[in-house]
């Protein structure tokens, strides 16, 4: 059996070839067919560990990731960072600043950092993030850190790829009501109050604690830990990592780890199946149907039936 | 021909019965079958006008909407507000505060205000927002204001329902880079700098203007207007409404209005078709497939094929 070029890249990347890894990720990101073919034979790796770092713009997520790399680069054999940035209207790509903040570690052979744009996808994650995470898991990156620059409910998506979700806030960002409004309360396994050298940090912590107390409808559910950091000076970073490892142990001991993996894979299966049917939802086809509806040639129900006809032809 | 109860509610709501309207919206929100049956015979209303109001939590969107109602309640025959809030972990529903801020107008017979929770949907809009907007358009609400409490990229979704998108920021919220990072630059037809009585308002405007200048890759594309408001005192609200009307006129004169309507209806068609196939993506079915994959009984490709088999049975 001969390997396809993508499978060959996967093998070479597994041997530690960073250039092959970079090319591999680009393929998974840009070529859905190649991505699907590569994932087709996989069964989902359960060994690796993915940490999501989410929060509003400006709370210092990239600085925090950089500080974490200061620990991980010396303690872990293979560390990955996916930094997901909205497309910049200026550069047409990811924001350079975030990369610059992390680049101190990008030269290390065991650290792989990749910055990706969101490309107008309606979520905080890049269109192909779940597939890329799955491939990096299979390549034994552990941990893999997924940083999303988005703010708000969008970050709920991070649950689809991360085992442990770290929500970063800062004093003065707003009170806990804002955290709740942004939908971050439900996804947080750990809260980081960053820039903890600023005033009002204790008020911010009390406020979070009160909110976490209120929301404990389910008494069996684990209450998220709160960690104080000042990432720019490295303060609290070791504490944060210790809490991440504690959460990892919690997931393993309760069976929730395999449950989260199941949900992550369910997402991948759904995405792959939907992607196969994508031509039925192509902009051109749908807009043409919509045009007939607006022109009173079709009712909405007729247009829906026609879209489903296309699905049938794709099966 | 006898009308179903939902169709009857639609007719009565059209006659101005607010209680019927409330019940109708609840049906569209909660009962997908009833919603699809009601929409089935429609062809998409092109007369109404929908204004999206988006921005980060805390920028004063609800106050702004309340102030707009001060104008619209006296000038327009039928005005609607959909305020979309993330589910509160405390109340299990929409945040009361937003309603309280607007309730001064909710007693007026020509003003209909509805607050909805997002219910964990991975977007800033409630699961059924596009369908509800379509029904309210058909009921001749004009304007219909859709306020989303989300922050960040999530609000890009608002384009799927709104003709004019107003992005609200405040001085000190962050610089224009944050606006760009949140993906709001691309969706804004009008920028509001609210709380313009605060310091640094001119710096915020200059910053926005610079960013808008940078992003003009497409010279033909309209540059969003910037309006200063202090919604709490009513300052600038008339200017804002004038700009909304100017944008409405712009859309009509350039043909972009019908183009946006086409895209909105395309979204509805896609959502209705996908909803019909939803059982193939049910959590239970997918998680079971994922379990087989993790147990090495299926490869990912096999699981995807099985999910598509279910789609075939639903067509």
Q: What 3-state class would DSSP assign to A230?
A: strand
Pairing of strands B144-148, B225-228: unpaired
Q: What is the DSSP letter of A235?
A: B
Could A301 and B43 be called an inter-chain contact, meaning their C-beta atoms sit closer than 8 Å?
no
CB pairs under 8 A between A and B: 270
Q: For testing the chain A interface, which of B154, B169, B281, B302 should be mutated: the one with the most A CBs within 10 Å? A: B154
Report residues of chain B scoring pLDDT below 50.
87-95, 120-124, 151-156
Query: How many angstroms separate the CA of residue A55 from the nearest CA in chain B?
Result: 10
Backbone angles phi, psi at B146, to 5 degrees: -110, 110
Query: What's chain A's average pLDDT?
Result: 85
On the question of pLDDT at A43 being above 90, the answer is yes
Which residues of chain A are within 8 Å of residue B120 when distances are taken between CB atoms? 156, 183, 186
Could B154 and A149 be called an inter-chain contact, meaning their C-beta atoms sit closer than 8 Å?
no
pLDDT confidence bin for A249, thresholds 50/70/90:
very high
Q: What is the dihedral of CA B158, B162, B163, B166, to 10 degrees?
A: -60
Query: How many angstroms separate the CA of residue B135 from the nearest CA in chain A?
Result: 12
**Entry pTM:** 0.79
* Among the listed residues B284, B183, B193, B177, the one whose alpha carbon sits nearest the alpha carbon of residue B230: B193
What value does the mean pLDDT take over residues A8-30? 94
Q: Which of B46, B56, B180 lies at the smallest CB-CB distance from A86? A: B180
Each residue's pLDDT tens digit, A259-310:
999 999 999 999 999 889 988 888 899 999 999 999 999 999 999 999 999 9
Could B123 and A154 be called an inter-chain contact, meaning their C-beta atoms sit closer than 8 Å?
yes
Interface residue A152 vs chain B (CB under 8 A)? yes
Q: Looking at residue A186, what is its pLDDT?
A: 77
Could B152 and A152 be called an inter-chain contact, meaning their C-beta atoms sit closer than 8 Å?
yes
Interface residue A182 vs chain B (CB under 8 A)? yes
| Cis-peptide, bond into residue A143, ω within 30° of zero | yes
ipTM value of the model?
Answer: 0.86
Sketch out chain A's domains with CATH numbers: 1-41 (no CATH), 45-256 (3.40.50.300), 277-314 (no CATH)
Q: Looking at residue A20, what is its pLDDT?
A: 95
* B274 → chain A, closest CA residue: A308
Interface residue A40 vs chain B (CB under 8 A)? yes
> A171 or A106, which is more confident?
A171
Q: Where are the beta strands (DSSP E) in chain B?
A: 50-55, 79-85, 111-117, 144-148, 164-169, 190-193, 225-228
User: How far, in Å, CA of B148 to CA of B141, rounded?
Assistant: 18
Query: How many angstroms separate the CA of residue B79 from the nearest CA in chain A?
Result: 23
User: How far, in Å, CA of B226 to CA of B224, rounded?
Assistant: 7
Query: What's chain B's average pLDDT?
Result: 84
Backbone angles phi, psi at A145, to 5 degrees: -105, 125
- Decide: B162 and B150 in contact? Cβ < 8 Å: no
Give residues with Cβ within 8 angstroms of B186, minimum separation 6: A89, A120, B156
Q: What is the DSSP letter of B230?
A: B
Structure tokens belonging to residue B74: 């006296």
Q: Looking at residue B90, what is its pLDDT?
A: 34
């Amino acid at each position: 059996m001969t390997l396809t070029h993508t499978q060959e890249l996967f093998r070479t990347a597994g041997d530690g070839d960073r250039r092959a890894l970079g090319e591999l990720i680009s393929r998974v990101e840009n070529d859905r067919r190649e991505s699907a073919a590569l994932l087709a034979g996989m069964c989902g790796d359960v060994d690796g560990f993915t940490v999501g770092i989410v929060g509003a713009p400006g709370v210092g997520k990239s600085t925090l990731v950089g500080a974490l790399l200061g620990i991980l680069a010396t303690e872990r054999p293979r560390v990955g960072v996916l930094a997901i940035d909205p497309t910049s209207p200026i550069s047409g790509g990811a924001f350079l600043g975030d990369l610059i903040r992390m680049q101190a570690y990008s030269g290390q052979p065991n650290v792989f950092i990749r910055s990706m744009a969101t490309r107008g996808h309606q979520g905080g994650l890049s269109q192909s993030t779940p597939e890329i995470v799955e491939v990096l898991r299979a390549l034994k990156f552990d941990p893999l850190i997924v940083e999303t620059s988005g703010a708000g409910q969008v970050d709920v998506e991070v649950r689809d790829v991360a085992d442990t979700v770290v929500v970063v806030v800062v004093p003065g960002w707003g009170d806990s009501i804002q955290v709740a409004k942004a939908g971050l309360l439900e996804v947080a396994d750990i809260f980081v109050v960053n820039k903890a050298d600023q005033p009002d940090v204790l008020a911010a912590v009390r406020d979070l604690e009160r909110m976490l107390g209120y929301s404990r409808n389910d008494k069996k559910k684990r209450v998220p830990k709160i960690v104080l950091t000042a990432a720019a000076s490295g303060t609290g970073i070791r504490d944060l990592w210790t809490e991440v490892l504690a959460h990892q142990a919690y997931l393993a001991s309760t069976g929730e780890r395999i449950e989260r993996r199941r949900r992550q894979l369910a997402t991948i299966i759904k995405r792959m199946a939907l992607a196969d049917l994508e031509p039925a939802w192509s902009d051109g086809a749908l807009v043409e149907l919509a045009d007939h509806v607006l022109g009173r040639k079709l009712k909405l129900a007729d247009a829906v039936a026609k879209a489903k006809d296309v699905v049938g032809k794709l099966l």
